[in-house]
Amino acid sequence: MALLLGREFVWWSSLASYSLATACLALLLAWFIKRQQKVWLIEKLPGPRSLPILGNALDVNVAPRELFQKVLEFREFGKAVRIWLGVNPYVLVSEARSAEVLLSSQKHLDKSRDYSFLHPWLGTGLLTSTGRKWHSRRKMLTPAFHFKILEDFVEVFNSQSHKMLTKLKGKADGRPFDVFPFITLCTLDIICETAMGININAQDNSDSEYVNAVYGIGALVQYRQTRPWIQPDLLFRLFGYAKQHDEYLRILHSFSYSAIDNRRKEYQLAKLKDKEEDEDVIGKKRRLAFLDLLLNYSETQTSLSNEDIREEVDTFMFEGHDTTAAALNWSLYLLGCHPEIQAKVHEELDSLFGDSDRPVTMADLREMKYTENCIKEALRLFPSVPFLARELREEAVINNYRIPVGTTVMVVTYRLHRDPEQFPDPETFDPDRFLPENVAKRHPYSYVPFSAGPRNCIGQKFALMEEKIVLSSIMRHFRVENTTRREDLRILGELILRPENGNMVKLWPRSAKV
């Protein structure tokens, strides 16, 4: 009897093992077939030759400046080009109709896996979240960028611009210097004050721990995005990058949580006071920072933890700092290359301000039409964000090619903005391209410096207001000449598009009113 039971047990064990092995082989075969279908579809697109497993990873394992140029060179294969980073397929698009398929869709809303390397810093805030969380956060945060709220930030834009001007005055002697750090620190002060209600005085203390952490973590994220062999967390740690990365995170998150705790205490104290005092502390008589609005939402609309609030504040810091600094620097660079256009900006600003040193008002901003067009044209030639990427959750048809689920589709904004069908003589700096009658002639997705469609930049009005005030402040007081010719320009296409060697300019005062 025991022998019979033993044989039966062995038989059932063998059957179970066989069934399990068969099931595993079936799953593996199904995965392989699905994978091959994906490869078959992707390989229909034109693109550079790739290696097994590595794909085109070695092609892009180059210095930052060479990397940007390499991506731009892929355009020679067509308007929709495939490359492989390891085993992950990417499709690069650079014309308006293809960009529209991706950006206008209510289905293709998920950011690419490249954004996951920002998760340790930003969590799943508005920039990186997907699905229901993204929809709820977008709906909740949209009122924070209402015109009336943005109007309150004009005072911050003016005061920080004035501080920058006092520093630039010492450089306005006609000798070349790099203006990029001056503008960057100004925008960092602006974003800290408007996002958290804190003045970190970056313009007076450029070596601060927080400032260095912001720059450091951005560089690490960019480095990791282009190197598949350090993308897994385990390998990122084994290669020794995680230690510095974690130290940056400690600094950044400690700063944000401290700001939230302090602001929350102020908020609670204010609620205990009478109405008049309450208004004086957190209401209409006091300018609200983005953080104040989040705290108010948490109290009155939807419960937000400190981590939820930290995600959104850090996201606002990230998206609203370097992007704006880059846009301002490129605007100043191009005006310094084109004295005839700079003269028109001076003429417009002189007609508004004369010789006065008064701050910019909302009424002034509405009249700065030519200055605004110069900024828009600078963003066409040098978009702050040179690439926009989404990961497909549903199959898409782009340029008559079927693009399978799981593919990262990347809009190469820098190339998109240079499509000669939409922008004749595309390398020419011509602010008149943005006159209303010229804008109406173009495809609506031919110009997307703030992305477009459902996931467009929620802070684009904020950014444009800031850029107009900071740039006009500089141009009211100085004449600028650039020392680097366009043909000699070296560009870094990292998370943000920036000149490799800074923005070397010469400044001369236009009057003694600085």
**Structure confidence by residue, pLDDT tens digits, 76-110:** 888 899 988 888 899 999 999 999 999 999 888 88
Judged against a pLDDT cut of 50, whether residue 283 lies above it is answered with: no
pLDDT at residue 363 in the model: 95
Contact between residue 224 and residue 117 where contact means Cβ atoms under 8 Å apart: yes
Q: Exposed, middle or buried by CB within 10 Å (0-12, 13-18, 19+), for 445?
A: buried
Judged against a pLDDT cut of 80, whether residue 162 lies above it is answered with: yes
pLDDT at residue 22 in the model: 73
pLDDT band at 12 (very low <50, low <70, confident <90, very high): low
Residue 435 CB-half CA count within 13 A = 5
Judged against a pLDDT cut of 60, whether residue 303 lies above it is answered with: yes
34 or 92: which carries more pLDDT confidence?
A: 92
**Structure confidence by residue, pLDDT tens digits, 346-395:** 999 999 999 899 999 999 999 999 999 999 999 999 999 998 989 998 99
Sign of the torsion angle spanned by Cα atoms 231, 236, 239, 244? positive
CA–CA distance, 93 with 197 (Å, rounded to integer): 40
pLDDT at residue 5 in the model: 54
**Structure confidence by residue, pLDDT tens digits, 166-203:** 999 999 999 999 999 999 999 999 998 988 888 888 88
pLDDT band at 514 (very low <50, low <70, confident <90, very high): very low
Give mean pLDDT, residues 266-285. 59
Q: Is 457 annotated as a binding residue?
A: yes
pLDDT at residue 17 in the model: 66
Contact between residue 493 and residue 414 where contact means Cβ atoms under 8 Å apart: yes
pLDDT band at 282 (very low <50, low <70, confident <90, very high): very low
Give mean pLDDT, residues 138-167. 89
389 or 494: which carries more pLDDT confidence?
A: 389
Give mean pLDDT, residues 318-344. 94
pLDDT at residue 208 in the model: 76
Mean pLDDT, the chain, rounded, equals 86
pLDDT band at 286 (very low <50, low <70, confident <90, very high): low
- The per-residue DSSP string of 201-267 comes to -TTT-TT-HHHHHHHHHHHHHHHHHT-GGG-SHHHHHHTT-HHHHHHHHHHHHHHHHHHHHHHHHHH
pLDDT at residue 140 in the model: 85
Judged against a pLDDT cut of 80, whether residue 154 lies above it is answered with: yes
pLDDT band at 487 (very low <50, low <70, confident <90, very high): confident
Give mean pLDDT, residues 406-415. 93
| DSSP bridge partners of 92 | 81, 410
Give mean pLDDT, residues 127-135. 84
Range with the poorest average pLDDT among 82-86, 122-126, 267-271, 335-339: 267-271
- The CATH number assigned to the domain with range 64-509 reads 1.10.630.10
Contact between residue 375 and residue 471 where contact means Cβ atoms under 8 Å apart: yes
Give mean pLDDT, residues 491-502. 84
**Structure confidence by residue, pLDDT tens digits, 425-478:** 999 999 999 999 999 999 999 999 999 999 999 899 999 999 999 999 999 999
Closest CA to 98 of 433, 497, 452, 495: 452
Closest CA to 331 of 375, 384, 376, 383: 375
Residue 387 CB-half CA count within 13 A = 24
pLDDT band at 27 (very low <50, low <70, confident <90, very high): low
| Displacement of CA 176 from its chain's centroid (Å) | 29
Q: Among residues of the chain, what percentage have pLDDT more than 70? A: 89
pLDDT band at 31 (very low <50, low <70, confident <90, very high): low
Give mean pLDDT, residues 43-63. 81
Q: How far, CA to CA in Å, does 303 sit from each of 125, 259, 440? A: 15, 19, 43
pLDDT at residue 492 in the model: 81
pLDDT at residue 182 in the model: 94
CA–CA distance, 136 with 39 (Å, rounded to integer): 35
Give mean pLDDT, residues 293-297. 85
Q: Which residue type is seen at 484? A: T
